[in-house]
Amino acid sequence: MQYDDQMKNRIKRIEGQLRGILKMMEENKDCREVITQLSASRTAIDRTIGVVVSSNLVDCVRKAEANGEDTEKLVQDAVNLLVKSR
């Protein structure tokens, strides 16, 4: 699996969000503001998981089809990964 710059940049943005949240906590910011930022970070992580799984699925399905393999199990595994991530 190749992780492109877009995926890596998503992780870097999330890292920045988490550092910002830690700073907010250290500055004793209002808990509603902290929770809002934590929620935004979680959403960003969930979306990144989706991108990684879907990109991986596309690659795996293409390879399996080229080899004449059944792709149903690959799709089911990808769905299970997404379900487990929640």
Q: Which CATH architecture has domain 5-85?
A: Up-down Bundle (1.20)
- The tens-digit pLDDT sequence of the chain (86 residues) is 778 899 999 999 999 999 999 999 999 999 999 999 999 999 999 999 888 888 888 888 888 888 888 888 878 888 887 787 66
The answer to whether the beta carbons of residues 85 and 46 sit under 8 Å apart is yes
- Sign, Cα dihedral of 61, 1, 53, 81: positive
What residue spans define the domains of the chain? Answer: 5-85
Angle, in degrees to the nearest 10, between helices 31-66 and 5-26: 160
- Cα gap 59→33, rounded to integer Å: 39
- Regarding pTM above 0.85, the answer is no
The encoded tokens of residue 74 equal: 């690959």
